[in-house]
Amino acid sequence: YTIKATHDIAAKLKDLGYSPDLADKFCPEVYLSTTIEFTNDHNCGKTPIEYGWKAILIDLKDIANVKPLSNMAVVAVKVGTNAPAIFDITDKDGKAVLLVDEGTYIVQVYWKDTLFIETPIKIFDSFTDQPNAFINGVVDMKSEGPVTTKTIEAYVYALRLRLVKADGKTPLKKDNIWVVVEWPDGTKTIHDFCGKCIAGIAENKDTRLELTSKLTLEDNPESCSRVPIGTYKVTVYYIASAKEGEYAKAKEAIEAGKVVVIGSDTVTVEKMRLGTASKVVDIKCDVYDFTVTVVTPWGTPLAGAKVKVEVPATGETIEGTLDETGSITLTDIAKGEVKITVTEWKNVAVNWETTVIYTAPKVVCSNIGKLVIKTVGARGQPLDAAVAIKGVTTATAKEGVLEVELPAGSYEVTVEYGGKKVTETLTVEAGKVTEKTFQLDIFIQLAGWPMTLPEFFGFILLIVFIIIALFLLMHEYSVWRRKRLAKALVQAKPAK
């Protein structure tokens, strides 16, 4: 009698939850065969007929971390055939068992269960990779014992992504940043980049977004990134509703479409045995740092103005004050575009807004006008008068002129000099120059004493009066002195 035994691949696939039809991917030519002479000694199992498989024990590790690699499909392909003879899935310790006959076999390893999809991801092939554990890239079971153990380091790498800003070099460290990665097998994972610019790409219970496989990598933290060779699609999101560690909220936002894309790229992990097994790839994001400068229509910086900055792409709001150059520095601005509102300048409401992009960060606030105040006396002479603009400023009109740029509106202006005061309400129009001359009743200023015309004439009359009075006084004194001198001379004449 000739007895043959083959693997029931369809039953094994069904036990693992896969379609039995996938058994068509396997080669049916591998079987055990033995020929015996059946005698009474074998009747009713008196003497068992013993024959069995040989075993290839696989100890699978990844080349990146040299740690056990679980849930990977390992197959044995009999030399001379074009399909796997048997497969097994590695356990949590990276161990698998391939039961084969005494033929010669090539051992292959596939990423998870991609063996069963249209585009399998092969992460090891003993024939093409020719590791030391395999002589000529094969396992010859005729020359091996009943059990042979092979240690394999598969092409599984550590992939880390580093987010950089649009300049291609500045690290992006910003809250509410999440990265979605589509793997070569269609699996999608989401990764927390909140407040950090670099992180490993790994599949685990937190990061798993969409799964195309029945096999998972539950014990694969980001610090132990493990990815197969292939091309990865990377998308960087700003998710306002998801902070650091809030994976559930991030997934909900992505499903609802409440996200902002700020970067995308493709990353290729290539097969390499030599060199580093860890790869760091920069992902450039549409995020910018730039300085916005606001000036008046006459080029004067709006120093000290209060502004509100809104980022349309993310909904973020920033409030601040322009520095002495009329500038405010903005960092981590998605899309490089903001809406800036000048709310107040010189204690006066402005409420002017415009859109600013990073390529043209200097803008002109059109809601500003110029007030030119001239202060003169009664003769038209310039006066260094004190000018008070109510609620805004107090200044001196140097050589009779004061120029002030103000938000459009009405202002109460008071001009004072030498005790003389004039108050008027003036209107400043946006983008225009408003001139106003204030004439004070100051005719002349003598020794720091400002005088009106009557005061000046009175002063002149006073001087004339004083001069006349002094003249009369001197005259009277002269007459008195002559009389006294004459009297003294008469008294001194001797008697005859």
- Distance, CA of 332 to CA of 74 (rounded, Å): 47
More confident residue, 496 or 198: 198
Question: What mean pLDDT do residues 406-429 have?
Answer: 93
- Distance, CA of 90 to CA of 78 (rounded, Å): 20
Is pLDDT at 53 greater than 60 in this prediction?
yes
Q: How confident is the model at residue 365 (pLDDT cuts 50, 70, 90)?
A: very high
Q: How confident is the model at residue 123 (pLDDT cuts 50, 70, 90)?
A: very high
Question: What mean pLDDT do residues 314-326 have?
Answer: 95
Q: Give residue-wise pLDDT tens across range 190-225.
A: 999 999 999 999 888 899 999 888 888 766 666 678
What backbone phi and psi angles, to 5 degrees, belong to 284?
A: -80, 130
Q: How confident is the model at residue 402 (pLDDT cuts 50, 70, 90)?
A: very high
The pTM of the full predicted model, rounded to 2 decimals, is 0.80
Number of other residues whose CB lies within 10 A of the CB of residue 208:
18
Is pLDDT at 145 greater than 80 in this prediction?
yes
Q: How confident is the model at residue 276 (pLDDT cuts 50, 70, 90)?
A: low
Q: What is the pLDDT of residue 348?
A: 95
**Contact yes or no for 24/114 (Cβ under 8 A):** no
Tokens 């990073």 label which residue?
A: 358
Tokens 């969409």 label which residue?
A: 210
**Contact yes or no for 435/421 (Cβ under 8 A):** no
- Distance, CA of 116 to CA of 80 (rounded, Å): 22
Is pLDDT at 493 greater than 60 in this prediction?
no
Q: Give residue-wise pLDDT tens across range 434-457.
A: 999 998 887 777 666 676 667 767
Question: What mean pLDDT do residues 279-304 have?
Answer: 95
Q: What is the pLDDT of residue 483?
A: 77
- Distance, CA of 58 to CA of 70 (rounded, Å): 11
More confident residue, 2 or 307: 307
- Distance, CA of 445 to CA of 451 (rounded, Å): 6
CA neighbor of 31 nearest in space, from 2, 15, 10, 53: 53
What proportion of the chain, given as a percentage, has pLDDT over 70? 94
Which amino acid, residue 485?
Answer: L
Q: How confident is the model at residue 494 (pLDDT cuts 50, 70, 90)?
A: low
Is pLDDT at 394 greater than 80 in this prediction?
yes
Is pLDDT at 492 greater than 70 in this prediction?
no
DSSP-assigned letter for residue 90: -
Q: What is the pLDDT of residue 168?
A: 94
When mean pLDDT is compared across 43-52, 111-120, 199-208, 251-260, the lowest value belongs to 43-52
> Left, alpha or beta for 399 (phi > 0: left; psi -120 to 50: alpha)?
left
